[in-house]
Structure 1
Amino acid sequence: MEPVQHSEPTYQPEPTVWNKGIKGGVITGIIMIVYSLLVYITESEALQSASFLFSLIGLIIGIVLTHKAFRSENGGFMSYSQGLGLGSVLGIVSGVLSGVFAFIYLTFVDNEYMARQMDVARMRLEDQGMSDAQIEQAMGFTDMLSSPGTLFMLSIISSLFMAFILSLIISAFTKNNHPEQVY
């Protein structure tokens, strides 16, 4: 008769808001980068117009899947605050990745992209019948917001803000408090 061998259980660390949020943020950020690359390369007005909607849907899917992954590795449990934290970390990470990509692309790869977009915006304003003074005022404001550094900061802030607001809502549906813990 052979002796019974007992295997040692493998150590599975509990998931943390940080490690799961970062992982979800990296995946979501990569998806956002691919979409941004399509927008930059094609200069498609339809893709540019859909950017906000795509970002919103991407964040929703990223948050829901990150919540699901966290719960599956945490015995099926996730508090509301953990869900909010996961979404916020995801938003920061995806915003930083998207912002870094945009900064690098607009500074080093295609530094004329924003100038071409400004020309298109100017033509649209002219077609709307705006006066030269109104056009100059609008273009000055747009020029200030369209530098790569400003776009980097706006990417982080807007991604965090949208992810936080979405997490406030999504976490209400995806939370599952552990019955033995009070959060």
Structure 2
Amino acid sequence: MGTKFTYALILTIASAVFQLLLYFTGFQTEKLAVGQHLNWLGLIIMIVVLFLGIKAVREEAPDKSLTYGKGVGTGVLISLFSGLMSAVYSFIHFKFVNTEFADYQLELIRAKWEEAGMGAAQMEQAEGFTRAMMGPVAQAIMTPIMAVVLGTIISLIAAAILKRPAPAPTV
């Protein structure tokens, strides 16, 4: 379990540092419109760490083999562990660090609603729901779910690339 947890911890720390960089550079606040596009970099971080984690598990095997199922399982476990740890950080980040995230997000969304022709009453109703979904608790709940979903997709691909059959027994 050590290697999987190690890579989950690496992914969690890398994600937290990335969130802090976005915040301190203003891409989670004033420049949120641009910052939303930078979130794809977080996906790249996840791809790299999962790939390296699955590869490390393969290299730990005595015969350096990796079945497809073990590769997928490894990636999903790394994602799950990281998602759970990241949920804690996500709550702390949006509760104590970036407390105005919902306000900045609503600024962007409100403009889109106006373009779509929503009325004031509709926008007010939608704002309540949107604000709840952008809150620290909702973000903490969604974090592990998204981590496992994305991690599973990435793991399916990475395991296909990294699988290696066990060497044939010598007689």
TM-score by length of 1: 0.78
Displacement of 1:176 after TM fit? 1.0
The answer as to 2:56 corresponding to 1:69 is: yes
The answer as to 2:167 corresponding to 1:162 is: no
Select the structure that is richer in helix: 2
Displacement of 1:149 after TM fit? 1.1
Displacement of 1:180 after TM fit? 5.8
Secondary structure of the equivalent of 2:58? helix
The answer as to 2:63 corresponding to 1:80 is: no
Structure 2 runs not aligned, ≥5 long: none
Match of 2:37 among 38, 49, 62: 49
8 Å Cα contact 1:87/1:167 also seen in 2 = yes
Displacement of 1:40 after TM fit? 2.3
Match of 2:86 among 93, 98, 113: 98
Alignment of structure 1 residues 72-151 onto 2, 5 Å: 72-74=59-61, 75-126=63-114, 129-151=117-139
Structure 1 runs not aligned, ≥5 long: 1-17
TM-score by length of 2: 0.82
8 Å Cα contact 2:113/2:123 also seen in 1 = yes
The one-letter code sitting in structure 1 at the alignment partner of 2:71 is G
8 Å Cα contact 2:58/2:65 also seen in 1 = yes
8 Å Cα contact 2:101/2:134 also seen in 1 = no
The one-letter code sitting in structure 2 at the alignment partner of 1:35 is F
8 Å Cα contact 1:77/1:177 also seen in 2 = yes
The answer as to 2:161 corresponding to 1:178 is: no
The one-letter code sitting in structure 1 at the alignment partner of 2:88 is V
8 Å Cα contact 1:40/1:113 also seen in 2 = no
Alpha-carbon RMSD across the aligned residues, in angstroms, is 2.2
What is the total number of aligned residue pairs between the two structures?
Answer: 163
Secondary structure of the equivalent of 1:161? helix
The answer as to 2:23 corresponding to 1:40 is: yes
Secondary structure of the equivalent of 1:50? helix
Name the larger-Rg structure. 1
